[in-house]
Structure 1
Amino acid sequence: MKKKLVKQVSTFFEGCFNAEPQHIFLSPGRINIIGEHVDYNDGFVLPAAINKYVCFAVSQNEGTQCSLVAKDLNDNYSFDLNDELKPVDKMWVNYFLGVLHQLKQRGNLKGFNIVFSSTIPMGSGLSSSAALECGFAYALNEIFELGLTKEEIALIGQKSEHTFVGVNCGIMDQFASVFGKKNCVIKLDCNTLDYEYHKADFKDYTLVLLDSKVKHTHLTSGYNVRRQEVEKGLAVIKENFPEVKTFRDCTEAQVEQVKQKLGDTIYRRCLFVVREIQRVLDAVDALEKSDFVKLGSLMLETHDGLSQNYEVSCEELDFLVDAVRNDKNVLGARMMGGGFGGCSINLVKKGTEDELIERVSREYKAKYHIALEAYKVKIAKGTSLYKK
């Protein structure tokens, strides 16, 4: 699969620029086992890179002209490195321009030609955007010897999304894409960016993603509103409990004590965040003990919290989780990502995946008239130079 993607992108590059690319880079999408919407709330998250990639074929040139070719979109964009960089109408281009805007301040760049293609499904909550940003930053760092650390590359990707795309995202997606390690999840402290790897050997179980194929339009606005709500909530909690600096210092009992002051909506948002931060710690413990039944129950708790208290799920995602909730071959399931569409992540007994996919696809089609997409994923290494 990986080799096929590399070959297709290389061949397309040759067709565009009449030369072989000098370098190939692969930047993976990511899953998050647990810890949703806490990366911007000073929590811990438990992501991993997966074996779905954005592939970049790259060559530098001696001038200042830059060409970006989006193979999958059959689209391209060219500009001069000396041009003032600002967001443009083509949204996919902004992911690149936001990164380049920062890199121009860090070193001597030359013109370049890039063709990219992806096996990360768009809009499915697998962070194709972070893979795009970080893969591009990683590639330019390598070819122009900018000396950036992996952490700097992740932060550049995040800032690009804030400034040129308009999504005020946390650091998790970019960090997982860059720091991913084969067969390991990353316990990431979103406060300090301290991280540790934990072996993710699910033994008799495997991960299956069920893609709802819906993306409700209020993803960006809903995401930014949630951030505002929890910021207001934290301010109220701090007023009443000066010892609390972040949600990580906050207890469920403290949230309950200021319930009236918070109001129902903000109370539920804060309750979810405090519980979810604890669930990540419990999930790490469950992984270390290979207690997959516990891990599965934590995933279901997360989904219910995201659906009822944080209200970022949607009818279709709730349906997908409910469809497997009582299946003896599924230990846990939840919606994954920003919400309002995208995928559910399911911990499924090996050997039963196809049967599960077939059943849920049939039920989903009957209910919503939408063809479900399913992905069996493996945990893979982060952004890297592809070596033939």
Structure 2
Amino acid sequence: MTKSSQIVKNGLEQFAEFSPSTPRVFFAPGRANLLGAHMDYNGGVVMPVALSKGSYVFAATRSDNLLRIRSRQFEGETVELKISELHPQRANGWAGYIEGALWATQQRWQCLQGLDIYVDSDLPIAKGLSSSASVISAVVKTVACLFDIDADRDEMIHLAHLAENRYVGVRCGVLDQTAIFLGEQDTVLMFDCLELTRVHLPLDSSAALIAIIDSQVSRELASSEFNIRVAECTSALSTMQKDVPGLTCLRELSAKQFAEHKNKLSAVEKKRTQHVIDEVQRTRRGAKALRANNIAEFGACMTATHYSLRDLFEVSTDELDILVKASTDVEGCYGARLTGAGFGGCVAALVHPQAQAEFEKHVCQTYQQRTNIETTVQWFSPAGGVCEITI
């Protein structure tokens, strides 16, 4: 029995103790962004991949306007509330994400009559793999299917984003929800944040698996420092717009224009802008590489992105740098970079399946020797998007 099958089996048993009804089961993947670091708010191209682990939602309808919610990750807690009690930022804990999805769908569709919901996940939480967007997306899909709502993926992406922004109060873009709903097996999504185009590029799991290595360093600075990086890029854009007519985002700034006008930027703004200009080129090279099934070239772009994030965007840590170096020292590792906004969390690496054992041994041993911190490697393949699981 696969791990996902075991989660479904255990979830059905837990749901039976929680509700007399027979549930339907839904899944939403996590995601890792392989290229296009900090490009979403600069109008660039991002290249996320949906992961083969994620959130599982077991749900059945009720007719009494009551919502009952449980999670395996928070055993012993049952949240109960009436539909009329849903309102933004009512809940601060884990249930807020599920409530947010219910609130957003109810605002849009006015369909809820009551639900029993049980949630499980095999995705690491708070590690830069979009665990919150995953569970919200799964619940949005659940509501649409249980109440026969004819909603397309764009509408569900919007509602999942609304839930996290408005109900939970997290300021985030739409990248996570887009990657999760539009994921396709053995592909990377190329999403243009300015033109809003979407293209799936091949990434064959028989040739490359995704390794996620946890630095065990808390991402405490991620939120505040992320906002600072956004402000720095916004300031650089404002300065460049004075000399470059029609410029709407840093992604549109050419290397020639940057060279002509960069002396008007602060030293920090020059670094941030240089990263954006270089990352535009890396995403183009990376897309070309995937179209040619050249995973080695794509991996080299990932590694170059990491060192740009270290040197120009200054969002890496010593621990993340050690993990990237240890990863890329292994023959069979195509490339590696920090995931998410940085300042801790995880490293993502592309690794040939035949190199799994050596990769795991070398990276974990090296990291413990260099930092005295134990870590593990979790393995993923490029997966499909949100779906119902047949039971």
Q: Percent identity?
A: 27
Give the superposition deviation at 1:65.
Answer: 0.9
Amino acid aligned to 1:168: R
Partners of 1:67 and 1:77 within 8 A in 2: yes
Give the superposition deviation at 1:27.
Answer: 0.6
Amino acid aligned to 1:54: S
2:31 corresponding residue in structure 1: 30
Give the superposition deviation at 1:52.
Answer: 0.1
Deviates more, 1:296-305 or 1:364-373: 364-373
2:129 corresponding residue in structure 1: 126
Give secondary structure in 2 for the equivalent of 1:106.
Answer: helix
Equivalences for residues 24-63 of structure 1 within 5 A: 24-63=25-64
Equivalences for residues 76-87 of structure 1 within 5 A: 76-87=78-89
Residue 140 of structure 1, aligned match among 131, 138, 143: 143
Task: Specify every segment of 5 or more residues in structure 1 that has no aligned partner in the other structure, as ranges.
Answer: none
1:359 corresponding residue in structure 2: 362
Distance in 2 between residues matched to 1:202 and 1:332, nearest whole Å: 15
Render the CA deviation track for 1:249-292: whole Å, top value 9, x for unaligned.
Answer: 21123233333332111221122122212211210101111222
Partners of 2:43 and 2:192 within 8 A in 1: yes
1:278 corresponding residue in structure 2: 281
Give the superposition deviation at 1:349.
Answer: 3.1
Amino acid aligned to 1:337: G
Give secondary structure in 1 for the equivalent of 2:124.
Answer: coil
Render the CA deviation track for 1:208-256: whole Å, top value 9, x for unaligned.
Answer: 2212122221122222222222122212111220132222321123233
Give the superposition deviation at 1:89.
Answer: 5.0
Give secondary structure in 1 for the equivalent of 2:42.
Answer: coil
* Count of residues in correspondence between the two structures: 387
Task: Specify every segment of 5 or more residues in structure 2 that has no aligned partner in the other structure, as ranges.
Answer: none
Partners of 2:92 and 2:168 within 8 A in 1: no
Partners of 1:335 and 1:345 within 8 A in 2: yes
1:70 corresponding residue in structure 2: 71
Render the CA deviation track for 1:27-77: whole Å, top value 9, x for unaligned.
Answer: 111122211211222111111211102000001100111111111111332
Distance in 2 between residues matched to 1:95 and 1:202, nearest whole Å: 31
Whether 2:376 is the aligned partner of 1:376: answer: no
Amino acid aligned to 1:37: H
1:105 corresponding residue in structure 2: 107
Give secondary structure in 2 for the equivalent of 1:27.
Answer: strand
Residue 210 of structure 1, aligned match among 191, 213, 216: 213
Distance in 2 between residues matched to 1:198 and 1:230, nearest whole Å: 29
Q: TM-score by structure 1 length?
A: 0.94
Give the superposition deviation at 1:16.
Answer: 1.3
Distance in 2 between residues matched to 1:149 and 1:274, nearest whole Å: 34
Q: TM-score by structure 2 length?
A: 0.93
Give the superposition deviation at 1:137.
Answer: 0.8
Distance in 2 between residues matched to 1:66 and 1:170, nearest whole Å: 28
Partners of 1:40 and 1:171 within 8 A in 2: no
Equivalences for residues 210-229 of structure 1 within 5 A: 210-229=213-232
Residue 20 of structure 2, aligned match among 18, 21, 26: 18
Amino acid aligned to 1:2: S
Partners of 1:29 and 1:120 within 8 A in 2: yes
Distance in 1 between residues matched to 2:86 and 2:54, nearest whole Å: 30
Distance in 2 between residues matched to 1:85 and 1:185, nearest whole Å: 36
Give the superposition deviation at 1:377.
Answer: 1.1
Render the CA deviation track for 1:127-152: whole Å, top value 9, x for unaligned.
Answer: 11111111111111111233322112
Residue 311 of structure 1, aligned match among 303, 309, 314: 314
Distance in 1 between residues matched to 2:274 and 2:159, nearest whole Å: 31
Amino acid aligned to 1:91: G
Equivalences for residues 318-333 of structure 1 within 5 A: 318-333=321-336
Amino acid aligned to 2:122: T
Residue 248 of structure 1, aligned match among 226, 248, 251: 251
Equivalences for residues 133-212 of structure 1 within 5 A: 133-201=136-204, 204-212=207-215
Give the superposition deviation at 1:369.
Answer: 2.8
Query: 1:203 and 1:137, CA in 2 relative to 1: closer, same or farther beyond 3 A?
Result: closer
Deviates more, 1:40-49 or 1:160-169: 160-169
Give the superposition deviation at 1:157.
Answer: 1.8
Give secondary structure in 2 for the equivalent of 1:20.
Answer: coil
Amino acid aligned to 1:299: M
Query: 1:86 and 1:171, CA in 2 relative to 1: closer, same or farther beyond 3 A?
Result: closer
Deviates more, 1:152-161 or 1:1-10: 152-161
Partners of 2:49 and 2:383 within 8 A in 1: yes
Amino acid aligned to 2:176: D
Distance in 2 between residues matched to 1:66 and 1:202, nearest whole Å: 39
Partners of 1:124 and 1:213 within 8 A in 2: no
Amino acid aligned to 1:258: H
Partners of 1:123 and 1:215 within 8 A in 2: no
Give the superposition deviation at 1:202.
Answer: 6.0
Amino acid aligned to 2:124: P
Partners of 2:88 and 2:166 within 8 A in 1: no
Distance in 1 between residues matched to 2:148 and 2:21, nearest whole Å: 22
Partners of 1:87 and 1:97 within 8 A in 2: no
Distance in 2 between residues matched to 1:301 and 1:354, nearest whole Å: 25
Amino acid aligned to 2:47: L
